């Protein structure tokens, strides 16, 4: 739970910084001139490293992303990502549903680096029972979009979860680190 407090404090510090107070930020960006949704869908493939008794495993999933319709900075952009991923090892399934806004900075034309907080829901399913818990997370990402509608990306994040027994006698968390590559298509 201390890790969750640190993550939440980091998000609050970021949210209260003077950068957010800049008058050039655009609230309700979707209704403003020049806003572009730029939706994209991508396949995720990577590795998940859970804490505790759960085993490391390969994950696969889907992600839908678009430029944030709520808030956009005066330069760079905020990209909202919605993803579902699943891993299965030795009869244990870990499924995650996540929402992550990432602040992206264009380093060179077409190549962006960024990061941000996120919210998620994690379900651990095993033969002895299952359970679902809410999660907070922090992540970093990179994205390359050339002139074609195809793009490549990578992302890593740490997820802090609540505790559940997940079908066992003792309560534990489902905290995990995930690294994933993305291959996607922009519309």
Residue 104 has a pLDDT of 96
Q: 12-63: per-residue pLDDT in tens?
A: 555 555 455 556 899 999 988 889 999 999 999 999 998 876 778 999 999 9
β pairing state of 77-89 and 92-108: antiparallel
Output 153 or 4, whichever has higher pLDDT.
153
- Taking domain 37-186, whether its CATH number is 3.40.50.2300 is answered by no
Q: 100-118: per-residue pLDDT in tens?
A: 999 999 999 999 999 999 9
**pLDDT, mean over the chain:** 87
| Percent of the chain residues topping a pLDDT of 90 | 60
| 24-53 core/surface letters (b: 16 or more CB in 10 A; e: else) | eebeebeeeeeeeeeebebebebebebbee
Flag the least confident range among 44-53, 80-89, 121-130, 167-176: 167-176
Nearest to 70 by CA among 38, 99, 98, 31: 31
Residue 177 has a pLDDT of 95
Residue 12 has a pLDDT of 55
Q: How far is CA 155 from CA 48, 63, 113, 143, 166, in A?
A: 12, 12, 10, 9, 27
Domain boundaries, the chain: 37-186
Output 131 or 134, whichever has higher pLDDT.
134
Residue 171 has a pLDDT of 78
Residue 97 has a pLDDT of 97
């Amino acid at each position: 739970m201390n890790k969750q407090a640190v993550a939440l404090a980091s998000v609050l510090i970021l949210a209260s910084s003077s950068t957010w107070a800049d008058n050039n930020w655009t609230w309700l960006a979707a209704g403003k001139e020049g806003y572009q949704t730029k939706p994209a869908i991508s396949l995720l493939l990577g590795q998940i490293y859970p804490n505790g008794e759960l085993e490391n495993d390969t994950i696969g999933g889907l992600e839908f992303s678009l430029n944030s319709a709520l808030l956009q900075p005066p330069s760079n952009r905020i990209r909202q990502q919605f993803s579902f991923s699943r891993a299965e090892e030795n009869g244990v399934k870990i499924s995650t549903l996540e929402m992550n806004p990432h602040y992206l900075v264009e380093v060179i034309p077409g190549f962006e680096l960024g990061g941000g907080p996120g919210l998620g829901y994690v379900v651990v399913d095993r033969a002895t029972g299952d359970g679902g818990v809410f999660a907070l997370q922090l992540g970093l990402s990179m994205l390359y979009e050339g002139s074609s509608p195809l793009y490549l990306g990578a992302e890593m994040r740490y997820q802090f979860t609540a505790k559940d027994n997940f079908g066992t006698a003792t309560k534990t968390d489902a905290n995990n680190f995930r690294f994933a590559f993305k291959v996607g298509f922009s519309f």
